[in-house]
Amino acid sequence: MIRLSTADTGFEAAFKILLSQARETTKTVDDVVSAIIAKVREDGDAAVIDYTNRFDRQSLTVDRLRVTTAEIDAATASIPTDLAAALDLAATRIEAFHRAQLPADLRVTDDAGLTLGMRWTALDAVGIYVPGGKAAYPSSVLMNAIPARAAGVGRIAMCVPSPDGVLNPLVLAAARRAGVTEVYRIGGAQAVAALAYGTATIAPVDRIVGPGNAYVAEAKRQVFGHVGIDSIAGPSEVVILADADNDPRRVAVDLLAQAEHDEAAQAILITDSAAFADAVADAVAAEIPTLPRSAIAGASWQAHGAIILVRDWEEAAALSDRLAPEHLQLMLRDPEAVFARIRHAGAVFLGAYAPEAVGDYIAGPNHVLPTGRSARFASGLSVFDFLKRTTFVGADRSALAKVGPAAVALAEAEGLQAHARSIALRLGQ
């Protein structure tokens, strides 16, 4: 774990090293993924089944690619009542927040008399990738599928791997709650390829969203352009700005809530109190051995964790913007004042009683967020990822007469005579 202080003369150099730290733990897989995609494009279902049987230790056949309605029914019925209620509450809150994002169409008539506008329409078909096996995330189903449904997407196809033939019942129950009925028991690069290019059994989609391992991420990168994607997600991260009024153990657990995701995850505390920094560091050390994922959390904290001591919160906000974290917690007396200074963060959590973990499950905003400092230019998943904009222009003779001559002049200046003539003919020139 790194300890830095802005008061130290070598701080800037040390902070730049922290910013440039490579946290990816997997080697390049682009050649392997390229071969898988090519094989799926050539052989369709047969290739998907072959790779799935090899990688997920199955004996899958074409008629078993799609999860049946009866299987989804049984999985949903098997969920304990309290867990089903929690899933429903999360889904209800996520849907309410995302429906509130829906934009209105735009239509104006300007001074020249032209009618100008923009119309929003939903994508036709979307593919949702959900991790399976040891990592089963029903929350990912809700966060990816519900915004698509809220946007009005007509078809949502979900792929989830089932190593050794095992599907997590809560993942299927989440699919049912999110309104997804088309579910396939496949994963990896072959699932991404099937969604992008289609097979005899799986119709192609227009956009693929959802997290996955290095092979899934690389496959999404390679099919981008033929279909849309949400992002290439990296290891999770959190930055916490906390003053000494906080309980050190709460802050420590919040840091470890990110560290337990992955050995490459990163958790950073920024504080103005050296004594509090020491207390949090001690609390982290005491908490790690108590976690079921202690080996993962400990490795993350040791390799990528950091505590930064600052002189004031203005300095802290500036450092946070340079980190542009996926998650930012402001555990401060006046979080809104510091939040007003923040420009780059995937999601911000205000106050001591709004831990990032509540955003992962139940708050409402999406937990699919930009990582690896990409919050400088990217945003979290929303209904806008499942909508597209179409602009339109309408003009009569009078309106064209007012703006057309300028367009003719610009077209001629660019040497595009047919462009100029297209307008000039309508102007009687």
Annotated catalytic residues are 326-327
Report residue 184 as tokens. 């396939």
8 A C-beta contact, residue 316 and residue 226 = no
Q: List Cα–Cα distances, 189 to 158, 228, 427, in angstroms.
A: 14, 16, 55
327 φ/ψ angles, rounded to the nearest 5 degrees: -120, 140
306 φ/ψ angles, rounded to the nearest 5 degrees: -155, 145
**3-class secondary-structure state, position 395:** coil
Question: Quick one: the chain helix, strand, coil %, rounded to 5?
Answer: 50, 15, 35
Instruction: Collect all residues with Cβ–Cβ distance below 8 Å to 245 and sequence separation of at least 6.
Output: 333, 352
Closest of 397, 360, 369, 389 to residue 86, by C-alpha: 360
Element (H, E) at 320: helix 313-323
Distance CA 350, CA 95 (A): 22
